[in-house]
């Protein structure tokens, strides 16, 4: 029987919350002094690194929950059922929001968003962030899901030393990739954000980190810092290091090692049955709706910007309202779209009949 990794579910909530804070600070219109606005933006600068945490978690959890003898088609169908219906619904909401704001609905961008190919289009922010902007990461995730049935058998064959080597190489690669941006831009014309942050094959490295990490933890081979040290290192990376490194390093390069440590430490704690505040039932529930929260929050921020454009609120008032509406939307989306569609689109597992 697989151990439930409730601490990682709780961690998902904090990752989603960090992204919310980043988007609110950098995209919301509110009344405050320029100094306070800049301070808020600076504090939340590492918000995009939470996407890196999601990508590593995705690889880890998929290995942890993998079914013996699972066929690629069955795996892809389950991932589609869990992800796409919520994406489709929030796409429609985003389209209505654009109509309300009097903005055009561009059919090519809409098709790119619905087919989740937007992250494959170089240097086109209008494609990446069109309609529901956060869905660009689903474009990467769907590429990960396609790759998963082919990656796992290869990585499973590695020895313990091979797994450790792969883990180290992948972490170092994430750190070094920003140094290649000038060369890549000269050779291809791709800007740094597309190459480092949006391009699915590059982000696949973080997904692979999660896969290898899961094999090490499941096999009892993980040797790394504990939860407290990992939390401290992650906090330093997010709130100190990310503020001082060049901009292209704050997306994932300065946080990938602490996040690797943190995920492994929390999972190992759950396996050993050690106490964890992240396993509190409220945090676990918030982690379960974190995907829905992620899909709804940016639309809420933009909607409030438009609604309060004549008289913007204070950061506290507008932030609280954006958070409350996003959370309520996440509860509804999770309960009435995500969960029912999983039941509707997936066949029921048959139980063996008694002789």
Q: What is the pLDDT of residues 33-53, one digit of tens each?
A: 888 889 999 999 999 999 999
DSSP letter (8 states) at residue 338: I
Q: How far apart are CA 49 and CA 253, in angstroms?
A: 8
Q: Name the burial class of residue 331, with classes exposed (0-12), middle (13-18) and buried (19+) by CB atoms within 10 angstroms of its CB.
A: middle
Integer Cα distance of 9 and 52 in angstroms? 15
Neighbours of 184 (CB within 10 A): 18
Place of tokens 């503020």: 243
Mean pLDDT of the 86-107 span? 96
355 has pLDDT over 60: no
Question: Does 1 have pLDDT greater than 70?
Answer: no
**pLDDT of amino acid 36:** 86
| In the predicted structure, residue 75 carries a pLDDT above the cut 90 | yes
Does residue 150 carry a pLDDT above 80?
yes
């Amino acid at each position: 029987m697989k151990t439930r990794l409730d601490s990682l579910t709780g961690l998902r909530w904090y990752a989603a919350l960090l992204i919310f804070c980043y988007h609110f600070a950098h995209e919301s219109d509110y009344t405050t002094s320029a100094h306070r606005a800049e301070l808020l933006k600076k504090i939340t600068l590492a918000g995009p690194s939470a996407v890196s945490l999601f990508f590593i978690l995705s690889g880890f959890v998929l290995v942890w929950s993998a079914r013996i003898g699972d066929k690629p088609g069955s795996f892809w169908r389950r991932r589609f059922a869990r992800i796409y219906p919520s994406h489709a619904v929030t796409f429609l909401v985003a389209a209505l929001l654009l109509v309300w704001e009097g903005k055009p609905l561009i059919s090519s961008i809409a098709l790119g968003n619905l087919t989740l190919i937007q992250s494959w289009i170089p240097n086109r922010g209008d494609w990446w962030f069109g309609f529901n902007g956060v869905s660009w990461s689903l474009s990467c995730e769907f590429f990960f899901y396609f790759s998963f049935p082919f990656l796992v058998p290869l990585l499973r064959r590695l020895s313990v030393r091979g797994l450790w080597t792969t883990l180290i190489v992948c972490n170092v690669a994430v750190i070094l990739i920003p140094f290649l941006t000038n060369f890549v831009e000269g050779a291809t014309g791709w800007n740094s954000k597309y190459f480092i942050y949006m391009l699915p094959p590059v982000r696949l490295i973080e997904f692979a980190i999660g896969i290898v990490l899961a094999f090490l933890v499941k096999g009892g081979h993980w040797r790394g810092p504990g939860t407290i040290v990992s939390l401290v290192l992650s906090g330093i990376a997010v709130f100190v290091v990310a503020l001082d490194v060049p901009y292209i390093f704050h997306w994932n390069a300065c946080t990938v090692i602490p996040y690797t440590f943190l995920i492994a430490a929390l999972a190992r704690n759950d396996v050993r049955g050690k106490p964890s505040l992240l396993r509190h039932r409220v945090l676990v529930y918030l982690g379960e709706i974190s995907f829905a929260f992620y899909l709804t929050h940016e639309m809420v921020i933009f909607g409030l910007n438009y609604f309060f454009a004549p008289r913007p609120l204070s950061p506290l008032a507008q932030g609280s309202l954006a958070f409350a509406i996003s959370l309520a939307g996440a509860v509804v989306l999770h309960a009435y779209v995500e969960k029912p569609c999983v039941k509707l689109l997936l066949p029921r597992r048959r139980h063996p009949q008694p002789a």
